[in-house]
Amino acid sequence: MSDENRTGTHRRTLLKASTATAAASAVFVGSGSYAAAQPRDNASEVAHHATTKPRGRGDFRSQEAHANTGRTKPQPRRPQRGRNGSGDIGVTILPIDLATFRAGSLFDLRVEVRGVNPINARVELDIAGPDLAPAAVLSSSPERSAGASDEMIIEYRNLTYPSPGEYTVKVRVTHRGQTLEESVVHTVHGAGAGGAKNVIFFLGDGMGQAPITAARILSKGISEGKYHGLLHMDQMEYRGFVGTSGADALATDSANSMSAYMCGHKSSVNAMGVYESSEEDPNAHPRVETMAELLKRTRGMSVGVVTTSEIQDATPAAVWAHTRRRSEYLEIMDQALNETQAPDVIMGGGMASLLPQSQEGSRREDDRDLRIEFEDLGYAYASTRSELADVIATGPDKVLATFHPGNLNVYLDREHSVDEKVLGEWTDQPNLKEMTEAALEVLQRNENGFFLMVEGASIDKMSHPMDGPRAIYDTIEFDQALGVAKEWAQGRDDTLIIVTADHNHSMSIVGTHDANDGGERDANGVYGNASFPTYADTNGDGFPDDPQPEVSLFYGWSNHPDHTDDFQHNGRFKQPALLDEDGVAVPNPERDPDSPLQQGNLPLNQTNCVHTVDDVPLFASGPGSARFNSFLDNTEVFHLMIDALGIDATDT
């Protein structure tokens, strides 16, 4: 893991170790030096997403869907009490208990001790390996600091567990006559059986079973209970389910759920590639090695990232980045420039984070032009569908392509019902199929193999505001991109393809909506009144000609804010709710204003639907795919992919 962008202020001083170069145990007395600081609580960083005040709407303002995902109250910690029963001492060991590693993979070890005087507290650290003998793990010099007036911090960077087995990390704290012991157990896996040279990982953001069912109905058709065809997802060799909860909360966010797939470790809401600590700098929390870092370091594989979101967004960024706060877009792009982290192919939106501040639409506050910085590193750059085709024709080894300052427009607005007022000047955006084809053309040249992540981002981004048709058209686009990968891999026996989601959403398919039955709730048909929908695909492109035929799907939403709804497609996208001057979500007066109020059930500051805790579907084909045919924790998906590749992280 690169240290180039770490901005912590810790001091490096080795106090005591069992050998000169490696240690299984260490003793620390105090933090070396101490600058006065105030105690702080352990409330999480919240996502720094702005709210936007619409023009001409009085005191109403819109809010990004992930603006209120962070904790607003202190996280409860397991109570700890000194053995003599007088006073409280707290200890946190990171990585957490029951974390799972690859032998040879890199990680940071951090111990936080609270409720002590950091000048004179004594901390003993010991690591016992598989044979209950001291393990030579503490091979770097520790960083010691006092994060607050009652806190002592010890951190080791870039450690590894040398061999498979169980390791116990034990901390013993002595302070003013009190003694406290705390320990965690870490499980370490060795190299898997192998069999795959390449892995293609498809991530439908927020894609639970409901969008898949709806996409099959809209794309393939159904009559008398029989589907007229199947999606590419439906025809994968194996399928299972994934549990998505994170380290800090039952309900997950895209950042920490994708991080589990890309690191094999749990993290906290809004975090990726790190364990949440007391560190105030969002980019200095203890790291674990990402998929990009591990594969590039151990085998020299190429890495590709393709998305319909901004390339700095949570899902794509988690392939390579380390940050506690997913909104650190500029830091995430800086990390993408590091050789040890940098994907070889990056395609999507997010141009605003690359442009110098002098250019319209830039979010930077400096004059750096990251397009030029990437070109200096050997990347070919494209900003339109036409430019991408020209660039791929030159046979580049690396490609950076950004097609929009923000997220790409959704498929329905971008390619189906093209609206120039919605697209603005960004009328030449490629679709996910084209980006997937281009990425494969570049990545396949590496004889060491490749890892490609393809995200259908707006399945989530349209599910949040309860825009069912736009979410489902993007699900169909996602499935067609999967078809590109399956066709590329056909006849090969060296490519594992995975399809899953980072979390579920509140969408369900309740029945159908028949416009002939009067409109609004009266037109919603359930049970025997749920007649079959009348979507038609006359041009055979896999997308319905009309997102609102006479009989369409009736979308239900298990959680939502107060909003009005006529249960029909909105020709122009509109948010369901806005914040009033008191920060309370109220129905958007411009979306179905004369329709009945749907009483919300979410906290009053939520303007969109939120993620749900339901398990998500998992599909797999290719070498190693049989092991995905079960229920898996999201961290296990990472380890099964590494097993399929036969990566031995100790052999570098």
Question: What residues are designated binding site for Mg(2+)?
Answer: 205, 313, 315, 455
- Sheet-wide strand order for 151-159: 11-12, 143-145, 151-159, 107-114, 90-94
User: Containing H/E element for 331?
Assistant: helix 329-336
String of DSSP letters for 455-511: EETHHHHHHTTT-HHHHHHHHHHHHHHHHHHHHHHTT-SSEEEEEE-S-B-SEEEEE
Annotated binding-site ranges for Zn(2+): 205, 460, 464, 502-503, 611
Q: Which of 105, 140, 145, 254 is catalytic?
A: 254
190 burial (CB, 10 Å; 0-12 / 13-18 / 19+) is middle
Which tokens sit at 67? 């603006």
| 458, 407 contact by CB (below 8 A) | yes
Which tokens sit at 333? 């792009």
Helix (H, G, I), strand (E, B) or coil at 117: coil
Helix (H, G, I), strand (E, B) or coil at 645: helix
Contacts of 484 (CB under 8 A, 6+ apart): 433, 436, 437, 440
| 634, 259 contact by CB (below 8 A) | no
| 169, 25 contact by CB (below 8 A) | no
Strand partners, 200: 452, 497
Strand partners, 188: 101, 165
Q: Residue 328, Cβ neighbours under 10 Å: how many?
A: 22
Q: Residue 288 has what DSSP assignment?
A: B
d(CA 564, CA 125): 58
Q: Residue 270, Cβ neighbours under 10 Å: how many?
A: 30
| 480, 600 contact by CB (below 8 A) | no
Contacts of 621 (CB under 8 A, 6+ apart): 236, 237, 238, 486, 489, 496, 497
Helix (H, G, I), strand (E, B) or coil at 596: coil
Q: How far is CA 149 from the centre of its chain?
A: 34
String of DSSP letters for 28-87: EES-SS---------PPPPP---EE--TTSTT-BEE-TTTT-S-SSPPP------TTSSS
Helix (H, G, I), strand (E, B) or coil at 201: strand
Phi, psi dihedrals of residue 417, rounded to the nearest 5°: -105, 75
Annotated binding-site ranges: 205, 313, 315, 455, 460, 464, 502-503, 611
HEC secondary structure over 525-577: ECHHHCCCCCCCCCCCCCCCCCCCCCEEEEEEECCCCCEECCCCCCCCCCCCE
**What is the Cα gyration radius of the chain?**
26
Q: Residue 415 has what DSSP assignment?
A: I
Helix (H, G, I), strand (E, B) or coil at 641: helix
| 548, 459 contact by CB (below 8 A) | no
278 is catalytic: no
Q: Mind telling me the catalytic residues?
A: 254
